[in-house]
Structure 1
Amino acid sequence: MPSASFTAARPLIPGLLVSLASVALAFGVHALIPALPAMTVAVVFGILAANLPGSSAAIAGSLRPGLNAAGKHFMRAGIVLLGLKLVLGDLLNLGWRTVGLVIGVVLLSFLGTWALGKAFRLPGDAPLLIASGFSICGASAIGAMSSVRGTAQKDTVLPVALVTLCGTLAIGLLPLLSGPLGLTPLEFGQWVGASVHDVGQVVATAQTAGAAALAAAILIKLTRVMMLAPMVAIASLAERRNRSAETERKMPPIVPLFVIGFLAMMALRSTGWLSEAVLETGAIIQDVLLGAALFGLGSAVRVRELLGSGLRAVTMALLSWLLIGVLGFFAIHLINA
């Protein structure tokens, strides 16, 4: 007789398997076209699956429980492993001036995007989630912030779609601006790291200017990723305060468990104890988990509904993208002054 846990998990299996299979296809596309990040491809696959006549019924039906589970639980596990990309020594070697400027870009872009979301009257948690994704680390930050806020998964769809849209635009547009703006490869990499949303999008954009640009972009970007833990902790404290008068609602932890895991992985990586093989394995598992989560989130996007209600959000996101690009541009000139 099957155990109770297996019986409860059985409805999730088809959707989870489909989300994992989609990641394999996304990696295949990335291998053929390196300029397309696998995470972006996974989101696009999810959107296509949800809107094509041949697959939309299954996506909305038998596969939905597993896809929802992937979007929630795989995302949290992927955020934990994201900590393995951070080495505190590397970040401190940037110097306090650089770290301070990058933190300033994160805070100003977060507040500016949140204010734009409010000005455009986006509903619910959309301004907060879009601000988190654009200013910190894309869909990972959206997933982390939505977990703290208790945001319904369907309400994370628009922020994830906007991060994907603007990050994809960055891959094509920013390299074209490097020459007219007079940026050296190093400055271009720093600018990309300071202003592009997702880690994969940063890599795809910066690698067009060479190894020096890519190294600078990753280091600056990971400094932004470092802000995930304190920003989520602050949001959790604010949510606890908001719920304090509503005793029937479960209080979120001050620091969510997956954020503690993220910090633990960062500390472990910083010890230098982990071999390259272990780090490479962790990076692969993280990509698989986040890719599966993003497919699950993308599969909740209904293009017809998005086009009907998302025009204001798209306009707001493009303005935020411009704001972050300008802030990042001025920051890298102050770094190199």
Structure 2
Amino acid sequence: MRRDGAVSSPNPSQRTLPRGFRSPLLPGLAVAAIAVSSAWLIHLAVPVIPFLTAAVILGILSANLPGISTAVEGILQPGLTLSAKRFMRLGIVLLGLKLSLVDVAELGWKTLGIVVAIVVLTFAGTLILGKALRLPGDQPILLAAGFSICGASAIGAMGGVTRADHRATVVPIALVTLCGTLAIAALPALKGPLGLDTVTFGYWVGASVHDVGQVVATAQTAGPTALAAALIIKLTRVLLLAPMVTGASVVDRYRRRHKANAPMDRGTPTKAVVAPGIKLPPLIPLFVAGFMLMIVVRTLGLLPSSALEAAGIVQDLLLAAALFGLGASVRLRSMLRTSGRAIVAAMLSWALIAVLAFVGVQLI
């Protein structure tokens, strides 16, 4: 009521919108939805650009173009943060529906062993490189997961178990996306000079390129046979996401418990229980358990093909929204100024997995 006794008129938006529709999340979520639609249209117009890669690029552009960047840092931030964190985990759960243990078993123990060796050696090598270059925080393990397993999805999963702030995943995701995008042009150009036949080229792409969409874009240049070979090898790498992330969770629990129980000084005995207020991460994060459950569902054939296709579409949409949100956290000037060592580590890791995969596929 105004001082003169008249009843003041409510704000039109408050009068017409219920409280739930005035959520601070809505602007960011709405922009993410628009960006996902735009990324899909870009992919349709230029199929060589993977859908998820287009989403990341749009996010990076939104964070660095004058005018838009102000909104990204302000009113859009809550919704974009939700997209980056929650949608990523939901998308990883649905990613499990792309994997059938039957298809993996058909590769044979030799091929499976080679793929596992490539992933483990790339992970260990990238982790060592990151440590040697003194990358900050969780960047070494995030880069290792992204380059060895399945790109941005693996970085999001590893960030979830190490409890890294979602902003800490920005540089690794930007770099793995950059290298994966470069692979779309670089690997087909090397097919002839390296003397690779169609199937071997597909194996090499599946064993060395990071994101599933980037694998499709790269392998399809050599035809459907190469694409089929690339996808089965790539999805076998994705299968390793669960054990690698679970292993990281076990190590993280041990480190946190050890830190919590460490004696304050030489005269203080080590406690047998975790100190109050120290919350240990779950042994198997819920979204990783969901990912493994979806693999079982796909392997047992519990869902019809129409449901699997629908789940695949939803998964792509969730991951695209998540990657747009993460891309919107990338400040190019800041990254180029402070992430020189991360760029070096990424390029060396990219070269490492390309060489290991090339040697490995010669043995298949």
Would the TM-score normalized by the shorter structure come out above 0.5?
yes
Partner residue in 2 for 1:141: 154
CA distance in 2, matches of 1:284, 1:228: 21
Q: Within 5 Å, give how 1:26-41 maps onto structure 2.
A: 26-41=39-54
Paired AA for residue 143 in structure 1: G
Deviations 1:44-76 (A, max 9, x none): 000000110120111000100110010000000
Partner residue in 2 for 1:270: 299
Partner residue in 1 for 2:322: 293
Q: Within 5 Å, give how 1:178-327 maps onto structure 2.
A: 178-244=191-257, 247-327=276-356
Paired AA for residue 252 in structure 2: E
CA distance in 1, matches of 2:22, 2:108: 48
Question: Does residue 65 of the first structure (1) align with residue 78 of the second (2)?
Answer: yes
CA distance in 1, matches of 2:88, 2:254: 26
Task: Identify which range, 163-172 or 305-314, moves more after superposition.
Answer: 305-314
Q: TM-score, normalised by structure 2?
A: 0.89
Deviations 1:293-320 (A, max 9, x none): 0000000000110110122211111111
Q: Which runs of 5+ in 2 are unaligned?
A: 1-13, 258-273
Task: Identify which range, 239-248 or 173-182, moves more after superposition.
Answer: 239-248
Partner residue in 1 for 2:31: 18
Partner residue in 2 for 1:123: 136
- Structure 1 runs (4+) deviating above 6 angstroms are none
Paired AA for residue 120 in structure 1: L
When the two structures are aligned, how many residues end up with a matched partner? 333
Shift, 1:273, TM fit: 2.8
Cα distance, 1:297–1:207 mapped onto 2, change above 3 Å: same
Alignment partner of 2:362 out of 327, 333, 336: 333
Q: Which runs of 5+ in 1 are unaligned?
A: none
Deviations 1:158-186 (A, max 9, x none): 00000111001100100000000000010
Question: Secondary structure at the residue paired with 2:23?
Answer: helix
CA distance in 1, matches of 2:118, 2:275: 35
CA distance in 2, matches of 1:9, 1:68: 17
Partner residue in 2 for 1:152: 165
Shift, 1:8, TM fit: 10
Cα distance, 1:331–1:288 mapped onto 2, change above 3 Å: same
Paired AA for residue 221 in structure 1: K
Paired AA for residue 215 in structure 1: A
Alignment partner of 1:92 out of 86, 105, 123: 105
Paired AA for residue 276 in structure 1: S
Question: Secondary structure at the residue paired with 2:363?
Answer: helix
Question: Secondary structure at the residue paired with 1:138?
Answer: helix
Q: TM-score, normalised by structure 1?
A: 0.96
Cα distance, 1:12–1:143 mapped onto 2, change above 3 Å: same
Q: CA RMSD in A?
A: 1.6
Question: Does residue 110 of the first structure (1) align with residue 139 of the second (2)?
Answer: no
Please say which structure displays the higher CA radius of gyration.
2
CA distance in 2, matches of 1:250, 1:198: 33
Partner residue in 2 for 1:166: 179
Task: Identify which range, 96-105 or 238-247, moves more after superposition.
Answer: 238-247
Task: Identify which range, 101-110 or 274-283, moves more after superposition.
Answer: 274-283
Paired AA for residue 267 in structure 1: V
Shift, 1:277, TM fit: 1.1
Cα distance, 1:8–1:253 mapped onto 2, change above 3 Å: farther
CA distance in 2, matches of 1:151, 1:222: 26
CA distance in 2, matches of 1:312, 1:281: 41
Question: Secondary structure at the residue paired with 1:334?
Answer: coil
Shift, 1:272, TM fit: 1.7
Paired AA for residue 40 in structure 1: T
CA distance in 2, matches of 1:179, 1:7: 58
Task: Identify which range, 237-246 or 160-169, moves more after superposition.
Answer: 237-246
Paired AA for residue 196 in structure 2: L
